[in-house]
Amino acid sequence: MKNAQCKKCLDKFFEKEIYTIQQFQYREEPPYKWSLQYFKKAGIGEWDSFCEKCLLEYSKESLESWKKSQI
């Protein structure tokens, strides 16, 4: 049963296809602490569920924002 919902696109997914921003702990940059702050401002917490596509978008957005903040 597809009973997990992506908070961004609101589509339904299988539990195993759902991701959280905790994935970003494994990025080299930005630091996870920075990512948490960044998403907190957008109203997103560590336990919110997203599909792979939406998480990838957030990944790109946050990295771009991090780069800009480093100039």
Footprint of Zn ion on residues 18-57 (CB under 5 A)? 51, 54
Q: Considering beta carbons, is residue 29 or 52 the nearer one to Zn ion?
A: 52
Binding residue count for Zn ion, defined by CB under 5 A = 5
Q: To the nearest whole angstrom, how small is the minimum distance from the Cβ of residue 13 to Zn ion?
A: 8
62 with 39: CB under 8 angstroms?
yes
Q: Which of 8, 20, 23, 27 binds Zn ion (CB under 5 A)?
A: 8
The length of the chain is 71
Which residues, other chains included, contact 27 with Cβ-Cβ below 8 Å and sequence gap of 6+? 35, 59, 63
Of the two residues 6 and 21, which places its CB atom closer to Zn ion in the complex?
6
What lies within 8 Å, CB to CB, of 23 at 6+ separation is 55, 59
User: Which residues bind to Zn ion, rule: CB under 5 A?
Assistant: 6, 8-9, 51, 54
